[in-house]
Amino acid sequence: MFICFFRTVKSDIFGALICHILKKSKIMSVLVGKRAPAFWAPAVINGTEIEASFSLEQYIGKKYVVFFFYPADFTFVCPTEIIAFQEKIAEFEDRNTVVVAASTDSVTTHWTWLQTPRNNGGIKGVTYPIVADHAKVISMQYDVLAGEYDADDMGNPIFTGSPEAYRGLFLIDKEGIVRHQVVNDMPLGRSVDEILRVIDALQFTEEFGEVCPADWHKGDKGLQATHEGIASYLSEKEEEKQ
């Protein structure tokens, strides 16, 4: 597991060096079942406070985490998603789940956007943490960066592609293990209700030891992961159609 330690970003040369390390690490597109990559980075919390060294590690053993990336501040789809999470933050809290966002913008840009009224394209009123992945290292750790560091023919560091994150989302359990992930291209906004449904499903399986079938919602029956269990479940479904 690669752990990212950084406090401030001074140049993309630092990112290029980190990229070299990451390429030698076993970074995989599918993180489900693996320990969520650790990091310490600046973030804005409670809508106004800048924390110099924010980490998801503080939640291990205590909370579930929805950690999602978005491409950029002061854009178009992004504020709709960020505000949608805020509008249902109480539902996440009811599920013992924290929401944390991240993009490759600087922490000062995050702070400025958080002070901007919504009628002017801002996200004022959002209270959950927004991490500043200005070096793009966290996006590389979670394999959602839409570009990559490289070197030109002279050995100078360059960046190809877009220096922004795709719309990646990771559900991390209380042990720090990724249990669900989804990555959308930049034009495609995510469904907050679907994320809540997946949290319900995870917590159901942990509590009752049963698995959740297709389109399962809280209050539905689960099923035993056995031949008898699936046979019984499908039989009931067929009877409901009659």
Least confident residue range of 91-105, 152-166, 170-184: 152-166
Quote the pLDDT of residue 6: 42
The fold of the 4-190 domain, in CATH, is Glutaredoxin (3.40.30)
Quote the pLDDT of residue 103: 98
Axis crossing angle, helix 192-208 with helix 77-87, rounded to the nearest 10: 40
**What does the pLDDT look like over 46-81, one tens digit per residue?**
999 999 999 999 999 999 999 999 999 999 999 999
Rounded mean pLDDT of the chain?
Answer: 91
Question: Which among 111, 94, 108 has a CA at the least distance from the CA of 45?
Answer: 111
Q: Where are the domains of the chain?
A: 4-190
Strands 130-132 and 39-45: antiparallel
Question: Which among 10, 62, 2, 11 has a CA at the least distance from the CA of 35?
Answer: 2
- Mark whether 19 is an active-site residue: no
| pLDDT(114) > 60 | yes
Contact of 224 with 205, CB cutoff 8 Å: no
**What does the pLDDT look like over 177-207, one tens digit per residue?**
999 999 999 999 999 999 999 999 999 999 9
| pLDDT(162) > 60 | yes
**What does the pLDDT look like over 5-47, one tens digit per residue?**
444 444 445 555 555 545 544 455 899 999 999 999 999 999 9
| Residue the block writes with tokens 């991240």 | 102
Quote the pLDDT of residue 198: 98
**What does the pLDDT look like over 134-160, one tens digit per residue?**
999 999 999 999 998 888 899 898 889
Question: Which among 236, 206, 231 has a CA at the least distance from the CA of 221?
Answer: 236
Instruction: For residue 191, give the DSSP letter.
Output: P
Question: Which among 114, 70, 93, 86 has a CA at the least distance from the CA of 192?
Answer: 86
